[in-house]
């Protein structure tokens, strides 16, 4: 029977799951509606829409994995585990790398540097984003391959040489951990670099403003700050999510404590939910659409009451 604390974690996970689906669904609906009206969609909106869709899938995969692994582990067969792990790897991959691409896009669209290399990349920012996303598939392919082999080894653990199967399984588990770490560290490093370059660009811009005697709170400064807030928020939630996953992996293997797993699952599911609300608040169009929706909802509720 679940304890009171476990019940609170369950309520938290379900609440964050519902809010995350609302936030990501809201981003997708607003951008798609605007696309139908204008018959065009900006590159930033395309990335945001793709990110929202990937995170909706990610939330559902996390919920299924959480239910099977924590609440009903007896029904979690190895075949189902393989399917869920592949779906989780794919949705997690695109969730992280699309957010990283958004950070890179903000960098090249907002920052100003005189470097010839930077200017060339700035002119071809769409191609840069495409190359990043295509290059990231290298990690996804290897991660899915290793996870598939690891689960298949578990399926055959009672066949043939048990010692050999166990050693191979340990090697594949370590390989999976290594690929997982790299596939999350690389986008984190890219986003951190984007954030630092935005700081340097803002510093140069403020110096130019001071030397010319103009106000520091100009539109360019505000855009820099807004982009930096978006990038740093992604870095914070990614670190929290990454640490929660590491603890989940190690605790589930050596410390099978259901309470620890619930806590880590709750922290993990906050990542695709909380960051989406931050993206909405940092985007003028999405923020105004959300405030308008909340105002209409309030009026509708008042009429019903």
Q: Please report the pLDDT score of residue 158 as a whole number.
A: 44
Q: How confident is the model at residue 171 (pLDDT cuts 50, 70, 90)?
A: low
Q: Please report the pLDDT score of residue 305 as a whole number.
A: 66
Q: How confident is the model at residue 76 (pLDDT cuts 50, 70, 90)?
A: low
Span 49-71, mean pLDDT?
84
Distance separating alpha carbons of residues 132 and 167, to the nearest angstrom: 35
Distance separating alpha carbons of residues 78 and 91, to the nearest angstrom: 20
Distance separating alpha carbons of residues 295 and 293, to the nearest angstrom: 5
Contacts for 140-145 with beta carbons within 8 Å, 24 or more apart?
140/89, 140/90, 140/93, 140/183, 142/179, 143/89, 143/93, 143/176, 143/179, 143/180, 143/183, 144/86, 144/89, 144/90
Q: What is the DSSP letter of 74?
A: G
Span 59-80, mean pLDDT?
73
Q: Please report the pLDDT score of residue 289 as a whole number.
A: 92
Structural contact between residues 272 and 25, judged by C-beta atoms closer than 8 angstroms:
no
Span 219-239, mean pLDDT?
80
pTM, two decimals, is 0.86
pLDDT tens across 133-151, in order? 999 998 888 888 877 776 6
Q: Please report the pLDDT score of residue 49 as a whole number.
A: 95
Q: Please report the pLDDT score of residue 138 as a whole number.
A: 87
Q: Please report the pLDDT score of residue 173 as a whole number.
A: 65
Averaged pLDDT of the chain: 80
Range among 16-25, 59-68, 224-233 rated most confident: 16-25
Distance separating alpha carbons of residues 1 and 152, to the nearest angstrom: 33
- Paired tokens of 178: 């290594």
Q: How confident is the model at residue 2 (pLDDT cuts 50, 70, 90)?
A: low
Worst-scoring range by mean pLDDT, 20-34, 113-127, 166-180, 195-209? 166-180
All domains of the chain, ordered by start, with CATH? 4-294 (1.20.1070.10)
pLDDT tens across 200-213, in order? 888 887 787 777 66
- CA 181 distance to own-chain centroid: 15
Q: Please report the pLDDT score of residue 183 as a whole number.
A: 78
Higher pLDDT, residue 279 or 164: 279
């Amino acid at each position: 029977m679940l304890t009171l604390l476990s019940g609170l974690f369950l309520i938290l996970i379900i609440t964050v799951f519902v809010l995350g689906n609302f936030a990501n669904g809201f981003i997708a609906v607003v951008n798609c509606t605007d696309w139908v009206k204008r018959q065009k969609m900006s590159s930033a909106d395309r990335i945001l829409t793709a990110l929202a869709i990937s995170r909706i899938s990610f939330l559902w995969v996390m919920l299924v994995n959480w239910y099977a692994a924590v609440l009903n582990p007896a029904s979690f067969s190895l075949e189902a585990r393989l399917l869920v792990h592949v779906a989780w790897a794919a949705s997690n991959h695109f969730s992280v790398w699309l957010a990283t691409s958004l950070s890179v896009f903000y960098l090249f669209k907002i920052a100003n540097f005189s470097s010839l290399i930077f200017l060339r990349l700035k002119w071809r920012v769409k191609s840069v984003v495409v190359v990043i996303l295509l290059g990231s598939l290298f990690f996804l392919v290897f991660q899915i391959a290793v996870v598939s082999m690891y689960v298949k080894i578990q399926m055959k653990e009672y066949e043939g040489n048990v010692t050999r199967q166990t050693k191979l399984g340990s090697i594949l588990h370590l390989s999976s951990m290594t690929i997982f770490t790299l596939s999350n560290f690389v986008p984190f490093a890219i986003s951190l670099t984007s954030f630092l370059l935005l700081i340097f660009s803002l510093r140069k811009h403020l110096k130019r403003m001071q030397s010319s005697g103009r106000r520091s709170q100009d539109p360019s400064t505000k855009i820099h700050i807004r982009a930096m807030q978006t990038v740093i928020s992604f870095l914070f939630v990614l670190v929290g999510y990454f640490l929660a996953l590491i603890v989940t992996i190690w605790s589930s293997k050596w410390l099978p404590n259901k309470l620890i797993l619930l806590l880590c699952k709750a922290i993990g599911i906050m990542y695709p939910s909380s960051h989406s609300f931050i993206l909405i608040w940092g985007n003028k169009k999405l923020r105004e659409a959300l405030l308008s929706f909340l105002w209409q909802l309030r009026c509708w509720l008042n009429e019903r009451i």
